[in-house]
Amino acid sequence: MTLQQPALAATAALARPARRRDKGRLFQEIGMLAPAVALLTIFLIVPFLLSFWTAMTNQPLVPRPTPVRFIGFTNFLRILKDDLFWISLWNVSRFTFWILPVQCGLAFATALLLHQKLPFRNFFRGLFFLPAITSMVVVCVIWGTLFQYPTGPLNQVIGFLSAGRIQPIDWLGDPNWAMFSIVLLSAWQAYGFQMIVYLAGLQGIPDELYDAARIDGANAFQRFWHVTMPGLRPTHVFVLVITTIQAFKLYTQVAVLTQGGPRSSTETVVHYMVRTGFEEQKLGLASAVSVILFLIVLVIALLQRQLLRRFDV
Partner 1 sequence: MSDLVLSATQMEVKRERSAIGSLRLVQTACILVIALVIVSPLFMLLVASLKDDRFQILADMGSFRAFWVSNPTLSNFAEVGNLSGELAYGRYLLNSLFILACTVGFGLIVNSMAGFVLAWGSLRGRALILSVVIALYVIPQESIIMPLVIMVSRAGMTDTFAVQIVPWVASPLYIFLFYQFFAQLPKELFEAAEMDGASVFRIYRSIFLPLSLPALATVSILMGIEAWNQYLWPILVTQTDYARPIAVAIATFFGQDSIYWDRAMAASVLMMIPILALYLAFQRWFVSSFVGSAVKG
Site for partner 1 in 189-228 (CB under 8 A): 196-197, 199-201, 203-204
Provide long-range contacts, Cβ within 8 A and 24+ apart, for 200-203.
Answer: 200/235, 201/111, 201/231, 201/232, 201/234, 201/235, 202/111, 202/112, 202/115, 202/228, 202/231, 202/232, 203/115
Gap between the Cα atoms of 199 and 126, Å rounded: 12
70 binds partner 1 (CB under 8 A): no
In the bound complex, what is the minimum distance in angstroms from residue 119's beta carbon to partner 1? 7
Give the binding range for partner 1 (CB under 8 A) out of 71-79, 80-88, 91-99, 250-258: 250-258
Contact between 102 and partner 1 by CB under 8 A: the answer reads: no
Q: Closest Cα partner for 197 from 239, 233, 247, 134?
A: 239
By CB under 8 A, residue 103 contacts partner 1: no
269, 275, 281, 285: CA torsion to nearest 10: -20
Pick from 84, 102, 218, 245: which binds partner 1 (CB under 8 A)? 245
Closest by CA to 104, choosing from 185, 234, 194, 201, is 194
How far is Cα 259 from Cα 204, in angstroms, rounded to an integer? 42
89 binds partner 1 (CB under 8 A): no
Residue choice 58, 96, 110, 266 for contact with partner 1 (CB under 8 A): 110
> CA-to-CA distance for 255 and 137, rounded, in angstroms?
10
- The CB-of-200 to partner 1 minimum distance in angstroms stands at 4
CB of 220 to partner 1, least distance (A): 9
Residue 101 and residue 184 in contact, taking contact as beta carbons nearer than 8 Å: no
Q: Which of these ranges, 42-50, 76-84, 88-96, 221-229, lies near partner 1 under the rule CB under 8 A?
A: 42-50
Stretch that binds partner 1, among 74-82, 96-104, 151-159, 221-229 (CB under 8 A): 151-159
Q: Considering the rule CB under 8 A, would residue 3 count as an interface residue with partner 1?
A: yes
Quick check: 229 binds partner 1 (CB under 8 A)? no
Residues in region 18-37 near partner 1 by CB under 8 A: 18-21, 24-26, 28-33, 35-37
Q: Is 247 in the site for partner 1 (CB under 8 A)?
A: no
